[in-house]
Structure 1
Amino acid sequence: MSVAGRTAVLGLALAGGLAGSQAPEFAQQYRQRLGGAVDEMRQVVAEFDEDVRRNGLDRDEAVSLYAQSPEAFLKDRGLSMKRLLSRFSTLSRQQAELELAEPLMRPVIVLRNPDQQIVQGAWQIYEPAVPVTAAGAVWAFAGLSLIGGFAWFSGKMLRFLFVNNRRRSEATPS
């Protein structure tokens, strides 16, 4: 491989390492925003549950009452409450998974089932950070290896395709 090719592979590998090293930091910021969202939703759900309890109902019965109402506003409110309860359940489960997970695995948990609103919020305020944890180092090495390996393999394939084709065409008499 030429000097330019090796330099390109090294540059891409380093960029991959830098990008990979940010995964734990982004997962941490996602986790913080997730915690805030769950805390706020918990308050809304607690107030809803208190109203439900005070009226001798359970959640499903209360949401059904909304759905059966002839008033469009109440039907819409029932649908939004149903969505909120579902999202609260999903986000609470994800929060519990993130809390139990090792720092190395938190980016995987975020990638497995990200909440788009939380991802967008975290991304808008995200500031890259230098990783000083073992998880950051592992993710940096993974990014460096994946991108560097891909760049090296791509260079080899391009060389094989173009250099070998040129040699064959030069060797074939016209």
Structure 2
Amino acid sequence: MITRAVTLAAGLTGAAGLSQFPEFSQQYMQRLGGAVDELSRQVDRYGADAEAAGLPMATYLQRLGAEGPLAQTQAANMASDIARLGEMSAALTALQGAGPFMRAKLATHIGDRAVAERTMESFKPALPLTFEGITFAGVGFFAGWLALGIALWFLKTSWRTARAVLFPGRRRRTARQG
């Protein structure tokens, strides 16, 4: 009886947790889009500076880095911004237009740690009243119930085996029928 109650609680916990994925992934995409827009603006400014100097971006960064330690740090930061924009843009492109189920499949694209942390800081769980939220809740319930059920079964069978090894002469008491 206790096992059923505990596995039911695990199922409900899984349902509550996983049902929030559609909304979290939507808010992550919005935040990622804002970060891409801002970083694009910054990188465009770098491009305008390189163009004003009459140089391609790679040459501009190389020459800037050769001007001294301060400029070298600035060039490294600019190169890092450009690379990050590429990564973030690729992730946003993969997620855009994808529904909640496809976003779950593409969850590896929800990998920018800074954006995910900022999303989680402002995320407020909600009751999932959409088809997607209810589906994720159902999957979460089943996953939580199954995971705890398997763990409890494993512990129960392991305990029986351990008891048989530790106390070989002892048998479980059974109720006498009479």
The amino acid of 1:8's aligned partner reads V
RMSD, matched Cα:
2.0
CA deviation after TM superposition for structure 1 residue 164, in Å: 5.8
CA deviation after TM superposition for structure 1 residue 107, in Å: 3.6
CA deviation after TM superposition for structure 1 residue 156, in Å: 1.7
* Matched ranges for 1:107-126 at <5 A: 107-112=104-109, 114-126=111-123
Q: What secondary structure sits across from 1:42 in the alignment?
A: helix
Query: Residues of 1 paired with 2:169 and 2:83: CA distance?
Result: 64
Correspondence for 1:4: 2
Q: What secondary structure sits across from 1:100 in the alignment?
A: coil
CA deviation after TM superposition for structure 1 residue 170, in Å: 2.4
Larger radius of gyration: 2
User: Are the aligned partners of 2:28 and 2:110 in contact in 1 as well (CA < 8 Å)?
Assistant: no
Instruction: Among all aligned residue pairs of Structure 1 and Structure 2, give the percentage whose two residues are the same amino acid.
Output: 25
Query: Residues of 1 paired with 2:31 and 2:159: CA distance?
Result: 49
Q: Is 1:13 aligned to 2:4, yes or no?
A: no
User: Are the aligned partners of 2:12 and 2:141 in contact in 1 as well (CA < 8 Å)?
Assistant: yes
Q: 1:62 to 1:76 in 2, by over 3 A?
A: same
Query: Residues of 1 paired with 2:57 and 2:169: CA distance?
Result: 76
CA deviation after TM superposition for structure 1 residue 67, in Å: 1.9
TM-score, reference length from structure 2: 0.85
CA deviation after TM superposition for structure 1 residue 111, in Å: 3.6
Higher helix share: 1
Correspondence for 1:97: 94
Correspondence for 1:33: 31
Equivalent position to 1:156, from 153, 157, 164: 153
Q: What secondary structure sits across from 2:96 in the alignment?
A: helix
CA deviation after TM superposition for structure 1 residue 102, in Å: 2.3
Query: Residues of 2 paired with 1:158 and 1:112: CA distance?
Result: 36
More deviation, 23-32/83-92: 23-32
* Matched ranges for 1:15-94 at <5 A: 15-69=13-67, 71-94=68-91
Off by >6 Å, runs of 4+ in structure 1: none
Q: Deviations over 1:100-137 (max 9, x none)?
A: 32221224434455111111111111111222333222
TM-score, reference length from structure 1: 0.87
Unaligned runs of 5+ residues in structure 1 are none
Q: 1:80 to 1:62 in 2, by over 3 A?
A: same
